[in-house]
Amino acid sequence: MAIVTTAANKVLDLLFGQTALSNLSTMYLGLSTTTCQNDGTGATEPSTVGTAYARVAITNNKTNWGNATSAALSNLVAATFAESTASWGTITYVFLAAGATAGVADIWYFEALSTPKTVQSATTVQFAVGAITASMTNA
């Protein structure tokens, strides 16, 4: 997953003494049917009305996230969305956000799915252990 510009700016401000960064005690995994942008915009989440879609809460600790190596870290537990009760459309992107509320632009990391996933009614979307990797790439 790539870090969005706003989140990268917060990390840089922290590292270079300008601004304190509060710990995100919980990150939220979300899905998008549209392309997420580097500035954290562009995500269109499935409707939350009558579909059972909601972002998945992942407590931000070392039980759920591995130690960073090679400028990246991955999930240590599977992340499972509730079973859909109606179509969620074709999911093309996954993201990590700071808040639970669908539709709020608070994305920190995002990534395109290698294969888009059409989610019909009675479908469970799950990301296995190691399937979510957040990184800080080097130039």
Residue numbers of the domain that contains 43: 2-135
pLDDT of residue 11: 87
pLDDT band for position 138 (cuts 50, 70, 90) = low
pTM: 0.91
Q: What is the pLDDT of residues 86-122, one digit of tens each?
A: 999 999 999 999 999 876 768 999 999 999 999 999 9
Domain count, the chain: 1
Extract the tokens encoding 41: 């915009």
